Structure formats: C-alpha cells, structure tokens
Amino acid sequence: MSSDTKTIRSRVLDLARKDERKGNWKGALRRYRRLTGLEPSEPSLHIKLGDVCKRLGQEKEAADAFFRAGLLFTKASFDEKAAALCKRALEIEPGRADFRDALIEAYRRLDRVPEAILTLEQASELADEQGDVQEALNLRRRIAELDPLAVDTRLRLAHDLERIENPGEALHEYAASMLELLRQRDFERALGVFTAINALRPEPVPEPEESEPAADSVDRLVAHAEQSQAHSDELRNLYQRVALLYHRERGLP
C-alpha cells in the first residue's frame, strides 16, 4: 500500500469511527464501503462493514461482508475466526450453499464434526421444506460420510432413495445401517431394516414370526443369509457380511 493510500485510509477510518459515535450509520456505511475498496484484504474492515449493514437492515450486504472476512481468515489459517464469521453469514442467509460449505470445511479442519453435522442437518431440513428432494439427499449423503455411525440419518436417506425409486443406493444405505445396528446389538431395529431390505427384493424372504424373541429372529436372519440365493451380487455380499459380522459378535463358529 502506497503512503498516499495509507493516508487516505487513516483519514477515512477516523471519519467512519466519528460517524459511528454520532450514530450516523449511513455515513459510516459509505466510508466502510470505501475502506473495503481501498484495502480489500483486511478482514476487520469487512467485519465493520457487515456490522453497519446489519444495523441498517441491509442483510444481504452484511452476510456477504462477513463471508468475505471469513474467507480472508481461512486464507490466513485462522479457522476459529473463519468459522465464526461464516456462521454469522449463514445465520443471516440460511439458504446460501457457499456460506454453508465454507462453514462445514472450517469445522472439519477444526475437528468439530458434530457442528458440521448439525449444519448439514439444518440445511437438509431447509431443503425438505423447499421441496428440493435431490439437495436433501445430497446433504444426507454428506452427513453419512462425516459420521458413518449415524444410523438414523442413513435410514432416512435409504427411505428417500427408495421413494424416488433408486433401489441400488437404498440397498447400500439399508445395508450400512443394518450392519451398524448389529454392531450395537440392537436386534429389534436390525430386524426392521432387514424387513425393508426384503421389500426391495423381487421375491421377499419370509419374515420371522412376531412371537419369536428378537435375538432368535436375528439368528434366523443370519442362518438364511448364509444359505441365500440372492438376486444380485450386491445383495449376496450384504448377506455374507451380515452373517460373518453377527457370528463374530456372538462368538459363533
């Protein structure tokens, strides 16, 4: 920055601060806009611009200003500050995918996976409300990638995939959910997922009697899996994985 530019910056910044003290927010807005043009790589100026815009009800410009500051902090590897500013921007405009993705990436770098998942869940709910089925599916896939143990999310994703007639991907998500439920020894829900898998087969396997204890029912499920003449290699591999895992968990030969 040249000495002339520094002098102008200092003078305009002093005037902007005086405007703020006097409550002349429109004047301050003009000056902070000029300052961000003079020194676009200074995040503090974008934050001040965002604060003034927010005060004046200019939400979109405020969100953009906070986001630009967040990107500058990201570039400088200040991920905590980047996350805080991207979150502020997203709170103003919840539908902005660029804000959301930058926030999730900051959370990922900070190893704050639960907050990244919460952000994705909120975005998927918004997509549902807007009727954007494909976007909701994509967001739930990202949750499953971040947290493979998120059974409820995977089951919801499987239901949605089945609803839009994508049985191959639905089967994959049901399989992942069922395996995790067996790892957790949640036999009741595992059996329910098995029923959903059966519904995707051309010739459903008979379900166990309702009167049978849950663990015995899953034993029968595994026994059938070992003998199954599945209709596809993918389904056969699923049954084999379930059988091997379940036997190992229960110490069976």
17 within some domain: yes
CA-to-CA dists, residue 239 to 57, 131, 161, angstroms: 58, 35, 20
Tell me how crowded residue 204 is: count the other CB atoms within 10 A of its CB: 11
- Confidence band for 210, pLDDT divided at 50, 70 and 90: low
Q: Is residue 74 pLDDT above 90, yes or no?
A: yes
Q: Is residue 146 pLDDT above 60, yes or no?
A: yes
**Which two structure tokens, joined as six digits, stand for 179?**
């395996």
58-69 pLDDT per residue, tens: 999 999 999 999
229 within some domain: no
Average pLDDT of span 211-222: 62
32 within some domain: yes
Residues 201, 205, 210: CA angle, nearest 5 degrees: 130
- The HSE-up count of residue 155 (CA atoms within 13 Å, CB side) is 16
181 within some domain: no
Q: Are 102 and 123 in contact (CB under 8 A)?
A: no
Domain that holds residue 51: 1-84
Q: Which residue has the tokens 């056969």?
A: 236
Higher per-residue confidence, 34 vs 6: 34
188 within some domain: no
Mean pLDDT over the full length of the chain: 84
55 within some domain: yes
**Which two structure tokens, joined as six digits, stand for 229?**
């003449």
Q: Which residues contact 232 (CB under 8 A, 6 or more apart)?
A: none
As a whole number of angstroms, the distance between CA 159 and CA 143 comes to 15
Q: Are 25 and 19 in contact (CB under 8 A)?
A: yes
Question: What local confidence, expressed as pLDDT, does residue 177 receive?
Answer: 86
As a whole number of angstroms, the distance between CA 160 and CA 165 comes to 9
> 203: burial class by Cβ within 10 Å (0-12, 13-18, 19+)?
exposed
134-144 pLDDT per residue, tens: 899 899 989 98
Question: What local confidence, expressed as pLDDT, does residue 212 receive?
Answer: 54
Query: What percent of the chain is modeled with pLDDT above 70?
Result: 77
Q: Are 16 and 28 in contact (CB under 8 A)?
A: yes
70 within some domain: yes
As a whole number of angstroms, the distance between CA 96 and CA 90 comes to 7
**CATH for 30:** 1.25.40.10
Question: What local confidence, expressed as pLDDT, does residue 44 receive?
Answer: 96
- Helices 167-183 + 233-250 axis angle, to 10: 0
52 within some domain: yes
Question: What local confidence, expressed as pLDDT, does residue 172 receive?
Answer: 80
Query: What percent of the chain is modeled with pLDDT above 90?
Result: 50
Q: Which of 103-112, 159-168, 204-213 has the highest mean pLDDT?
A: 103-112
Direct distance between the N- and C-terminal alpha carbons of the chain, in angstroms, rounded to an integer: 74
- Confidence band for 163, pLDDT divided at 50, 70 and 90: confident
Tally of residues, the chain = 253
Ranking 79-93, 167-181, 192-206, 219-233 by mean pLDDT, the lowest is 219-233
Q: Is residue 96 pLDDT above 70, yes or no?
A: yes
224-237 pLDDT per residue, tens: 656 655 555 656 66
Question: What local confidence, expressed as pLDDT, does residue 220 receive?
Answer: 67
As a whole number of angstroms, the distance between CA 66 and CA 103 comes to 12
DSSP 205-231: PPPPPTTS-HHHHHHHHHHHHHH---S
* Domain count along the chain: 1
Question: What local confidence, expressed as pLDDT, does residue 5 receive?
Answer: 74
- Confidence band for 27, pLDDT divided at 50, 70 and 90: very high
Higher per-residue confidence, 144 vs 19: 19
Question: What local confidence, expressed as pLDDT, does residue 93 receive?
Answer: 96
Question: What local confidence, expressed as pLDDT, does residue 232 receive?
Answer: 58
